[in-house]
Structure 1
């Protein structure tokens, strides 16, 4: 059957199913695939010339690309850049683009139900946005660190990352073992006088045995 580039009265706008060859009983499931153009997202920049709310009413929300670049985006139109890029499929998530009339709040995300984010000792942008008020989403950031415990106190002193306003969550686990001792959500704010996210909070009810612990702090700015 020929390629259908316009399928009327259908949800599909294109049907590329066609016989692999012209012999009798040939299968259209052999040797055919759709090849997408490569896109290097480390160099990609949005062109907003035609983004007038009519030509691209979603402001590119859901646009799919195959990325070949490694590193981070550097698109000046985006408020939050995507780090940790690796070759593979990415989509542009910009659910509020039509309302905002821009791509500024959008972000490139790897295609899949559970995109992986590697948290390191430097600030990392996660794939989580928090709706803090109607029409206002805030990015969740994360950072990894460590502290030592004496085995006699619940007091934990964790420096607040630069710009942090509110803690979103924190996970504390024994260094090298992966044993989680505490997972808290929304419990702590920055202690302005000490400049720390947590400093002897009475909510920290866990007494940590003597040793070294790692933590992953998730926060808003």
Structure 2
């Protein structure tokens, strides 16, 4: 086991030597031009004829993504030239990532699982703020939309789609319902309206709503479609662009 960690440390930090590394076969200068930088396969792997219940794996570093912050002191174009684009971690926390400091400016709801940092413009902008944490493998792709702004797993022309949940009351006669616009909203993506406490969806639309500029509200109803909501309380999920 110590030998494995020694090889890993040498492969990752021994930048002075330009050679590929195989845990089971040592340094291989003859494959310098191959695609593989680190080969962790060994005689314990099943394809090498190992016995039952034997094998080797890699433990990805475990972090608390809710509070995680990048150390950008070495993101100088040489040591970390991609500004952490593609970095993989195992997240051990449940919650929403913070956005202040050296963090993504997009808040992401996270649960325990694997995540990678998507920051393709990091090198050009010398920053991590444009990046976003995305689930990978064991991470869940579900987003729990609550009463505070939540970044969804959807983007339109690279613009992040946000969502928020709210409630309104209907009197059973009107088709127009004013829904307060979230701060910074520039356009609507969709609204889903359903009876509070049930799974009865009354309306789901990507096009039949307008942004009420005078009142600053998202106003339901349109010339082509209108829904009369029976008297009662309704929940809605509004998805929007900023």
TM-score norm. by structure 1 comes to 0.80
- Which aligned segments of 4 or more residues in structure 1 are displaced greater than 4 angstroms? 4-7
1:117 matched residue in structure 2: 143
1:178 matched residue in structure 2: 199
* Deviation per residue, 1:38-95 (Å, 9 max, x gap): 2222332222233233443332211100112333333512352434332221110112
Q: Distance in 2 between matches of 1:93 and 1:156?
A: 38
Give the CA RMSD over aligned residues: 3.0
Aligned pairs for 1:20-99 within 5 A: 20=44, 26-27=50-51, 30-74=54-98, 76-99=101-124
User: Residues 195 and 110 from structure 1, CA distance in 2 versus in 1: closer, same or farther, beyond 3 angstroms?
Assistant: same
1:134 matched residue in structure 2: none
Q: How far did residue 172 of structure 1 move?
A: 1.4
Q: Distance in 1 between matches of 2:186 and 2:96?
A: 25
Residue-pair matches, total? 214
Q: Distance in 1 between matches of 2:200 and 2:62?
A: 42
State which of 119, 129, 152 in structure 1 corresponds to 2:155.
Answer: 129
Q: Which 5+ residue runs of structure 2 have no aligned equivalent?
A: 1-21
Higher helix share: 2
* Deviation per residue, 1:137-195 (Å, 9 max, x gap): 43322111122333333212211122322212111123333232222225544313223
Q: Distance in 1 between matches of 2:125 and 2:175?
A: 45
State which of 213, 218, 221 in structure 1 corresponds to 2:239.
Answer: 218
Q: Distance in 1 between matches of 2:123 and 2:227?
A: 46
